[in-house]
Homo-oligomer: A and B are copies of this chain.
Amino acid sequence: MRMVDVGDKPKTERIAIATGLVRMSAQARNAIRSNSVSKGNVIEAARLAGIMATKRTPDLIPLCHPIAISAVEMHVATVKAGVEIRATVKTVDRTGVEMEALTAVSAAALTVYDMLKSTDRGMVIEAVQLEAKQGGRSGEWKRKRT
């Protein structure tokens, strides 16, 4: 078990975009849209939880390096199937921010679940995945559409 050595990699700009979906009942989604969730504003809470989670990534993922995050942008919106989440994370560092972006999506999704669980305990967090990354030795990567 080891945290791999990134000390000889150059510091370059790196971007990662991850997405996910919280599938839910129409009733749960409507509660968000009408802002009638008793715990508060679901969209704002999920965004904030996502941003804050990027900073906890090395505490949660054992072999992640601590990283100097330079920007986080969270998109959280209701769609037909429930709530769609997209996190964009940037850094200028020796290693990428894929894990930070995926962790942000996961934390935002869990926050959505938490705020609505009394309405719909059957919600499912789906398709948490990397969409694209730029920068670093492995360069650009984009998810293939099927």
Contact = CB atoms under 8 A, between A and B. Distances in A.
A13 B51 CA distance: 26
A7 B98 contact: no
Q: Which bracket fits the contact residues of A? A: 35 or more
Nearest to A127: B124
Given A44-B1, A72-B3, A39 B63 contact: yes
Interface string A37-70: 0111100110111011111101111111111111
Interface of A: 1-7, 13, 20, 38-41, 44-45, 47-49, 51-56, 58-74, 90-94, 98-99, 102-103, 106-107, 109-111, 113-115, 117-118, 121-130, 133, 138, 141, 143-144
Nearest to A102: B110
Contact of A61 (B40, B44, B49, B69): B49
A27 to B, nearest CB: 16
